[in-house]
Structure 1
Amino acid sequence: MSYIFDVEDDTVWSPSNRVGELYVGMLNAAAGTLRLPTGLSPDTGDMYEIDIAKFGPLVKEMLATRAHSSHQYLWILMDGVLPISITILERAGSEIVADTEEEQRYLTTVHGMKLPMQK
């Protein structure tokens, strides 16, 4: 069994149930803290449709928050959800543009991770 994250007709991520459930919870927490919508809409208990028009701004704000903070605990918490969110956004065909050198360094690090995104 796995979670399914779709953008329109494309599956952009299909992690195990446990990983999918944890990601949704962490994304909801980050979105709540930043006071932005997640862009996730549940189709069923383990299937989510992603609205890129809402998800993209959240990912961008998470990146800016992470890059402009010097708080190490914030980094640790954001690092649990941000790399996956960046990868999902890019797999959906949306580019995330860095506004600062700090953001570019973070994106370069994420791209170097080569996160597997099972389909």
Structure 2
Amino acid sequence: MSQYYEVGDETLWNPSIGASRLFLAQVRLHEDELGLASGLGPMDMDECKIEAGAFREYTEALVARHLRTGHRVILALSEGFVATVLVLARRAGIEPDALRAGADGDGSAGGFRDVQVRAGAPAPPGQGDGDAARERLEALAHRLDRAMPR
């Protein structure tokens, strides 16, 4: 059994029910963290309609926050989810501005920044290594795109 994520008549993703349930739970969690609606409606009869405008704003804020954080645990917990959202966004024709080389990553994520502080520790991924963080996210999204059925 599977479920469908759709923009208009186009199916962006057709995951298993288990993967879909986990994904939607993370969507709702990040909606609360960002203070933004994702544009993903409820799962109704195995279909989730996506409102492209809200999804664009959510994706932009999510990617900007991910690239801006300096907290290793938050990065580890969220990287796969952010890459999955990025795949769906691109399939919907959305390219986040935060991924442009040289972008400052100060999207509309409330202006907060999570950092993990430890004396003598090198800067964690996502903090001070903008291009490298973008490259890691792009590489993971590329791998996931091939693994996410439509």
Query: Is the shorter-chain TM-score for this pair beyond 0.5, marking a shared fold?
Result: yes
Deviations 1:4-50 (A, max 9, x none): 00000000000000000100000110111110001011261421001
SS of 1:67 mapped into structure 2: helix
Shift, 1:105, TM fit: 2.6
What are the residue-to-residue correspondences of 1:73-112 with 2, within 5 Å?
73-97=73-97, 98=99, 99-100=103-104, 101-102=130-131, 104-112=134-142
- 2:57 matched to 1:57? yes
Contact kept in structure 1, 2:27 and 2:38, CA below 8 Å: yes
1:1-40 to 2 correspondences below 5 Å: 1-40=1-40
Using structure 1 for the length normalisation, give the TM-score: 0.88
Contact 2:63–2:96 (CA under 8 A) maintained in structure 1: no
Name the larger-Rg structure.
2
Aligned-pair CA distance for 1:66? 1.0
Q: After alignment, is 43-52 or 31-40 more displaced?
A: 43-52
> Which amino acid in 1 is paired with 2:41?
S
Paired with 2:33 and 2:69, the residues of 1 have a C-alpha distance of: 15
Identity of aligned residues (%): 23
Letter in 2 for 1:90: R
Aligned residues: 119
8 Å CA contact retained: 1:59, 1:86: yes
**SS of structure 2 residue aligned to 1:42:** strand
Q: Contact 2:5 / 2:48 at 8 angstroms: preserved in 1?
A: yes
Offset at residue 52 of structure 1 (A): 1.3
Does 1:118 pair with 2:149?
yes
* Contact persistence 1:62–1:78 (CA under 8 A): no
**What is the CA RMSD across the aligned residues, in angstroms?**
1.8
